[in-house]
Structure 1
């Protein structure tokens, strides 16, 4: 397993989850793209974290392929499309404080904190675990309509084009400059 190094300058935000979510996206994305979901198991004790009926969730995900893994704000988003073509849907997960992802082999015992498991072709399972029961899981065709506060989210913290066009007052929280060019607030103060 090879690790991808993400430069520290990519994290110019006060969102502590950003480095973890970007690392997850980089690690899970290539391992999931093109893989087929063959079965879904929802833990009845944790199904309340789904913002979708658990039975429908378990029925609709099988026979879908992962097409893309991306991040929007504090959400890790998996795009899934029916294997024979059809509607694209999104599995958007905000792991909050206690959410974790586990890509495990078929013989690995599932932890008690498992919310759901997606069995993949080849036998592996993608599991979402949440030991604090705080995560938010959305299964949707339109995240802007169904995911809370999606439309109100500001610009992406890692987007350099957004940082150039965003007003300096929106990125600056203190008046004194630290003098580093890599600091978003200080770069904005020199405009």
Structure 2
């Protein structure tokens, strides 16, 4: 799933490619992807792109006074095409193509989604706040408003909820997903199942530094990369996420995994749980 650093880099890459170009046509290949009807999708056709920005994990293409907003969900991506095929794509439930954006010079973007679980979303709105997911976003972890006190308030309000889930919830903090929550908890040496309101002041400060550091470093590494390079960059720099069975780069212990119905997490027992293994089942508790 693209998270804050990748979406930030996508916005920067697309800004350089799209600004000043007009959208000639938007072909919708997956009708379920379009979540709005007023303004219609055709309203952006013939208009010039004014900029590309990010809100959490949402991409926002400002065009002709409107906003073409994308949420890439779990398996979505954006692929640049130097030359767009002359034949429009046919709607199909079997294709990975969700939408194709054609520019006035016959270049364009393919918005794709792999897998059978289709949750990619496309919106045409007058204001980004008209998208419910954007309207309820929490603070950006790299923004000036995300302070140590703000983080403390978020964790205290969450009570005894497991900290990994609290960090991933977009109304708490915008842009952190499954992968980077694993990474920053590893950097902060915290169990993913630690109750959110149980952190000491030292642990709170360490977690705040890890959020700023892990996310900030990932953004710095990704900045300037083309969309085709971002997935590889993300995977290469993961310390524990996606690395179950490999050695922890900090202590050398084996990275472990907890699997759930539709996701998994990875952690280092030595760095994060005092050497104890987490039970690999839903609602896991530390093994005794």
TM-score using structure 2 length: 0.49
Stretch deviating more after TM superposition (65-74 or 106-115): 106-115
Which residue is 1:71 aligned to? 54
For 1:104-119, what aligned pairs fall within 5 Å after superposition?
Answer: 104-106=81-83, 112-119=95-102
Q: Aligned partners of 2:102 and 2:8: how far apart in 1?
A: 23
Which stretches of structure 1, 4 residues or longer, exceed 4 Å deviation after superposition?
107-111, 178-181
**Contact 2:142/2:212 (<8 A) preserved:** no
CA distance in 1, matches of 2:31, 2:10: 23
Corresponding residue for 1:95?
Answer: 72
Using the alignment, how far apart are the partners of 2:149 and 2:105 within structure 1?
A: 45
Greater C-alpha radius of gyration: 2
Deviations 1:43-67 (A, max 9, x none): 1xx111101249931x222111111
Q: Distance in 2 between matches of 1:144 and 1:180?
A: 30
Greater relative contact order (Cα < 8 A, sep 6+): 1
- Structure 1 unaligned segments of length 5 or more: list them: 1-14, 82-87, 187-191
Q: Deviations over 1:132-185 (max 9, x none)?
A: 42111110002323x1233221111221x1123752413654335385884348
1:155 has 2:139 as partner? yes
Deviates more, 1:162-171 or 1:71-80: 162-171
SS in 1 for 2:112: strand
Higher strand share: 1
**Richer in helix (by share):** 2
Number of residue pairs matched?
Answer: 161
Aligned alpha-carbon RMSD (Å): 3.1
Deviations 1:21-73, CA, capped at 9 Å, x for gaps? 11111211111111111122111xx111101249931x222111111111111
Q: Secondary structure at the match of 1:150?
A: helix
Gaps of 5+ in 2: 156-195, 214-288
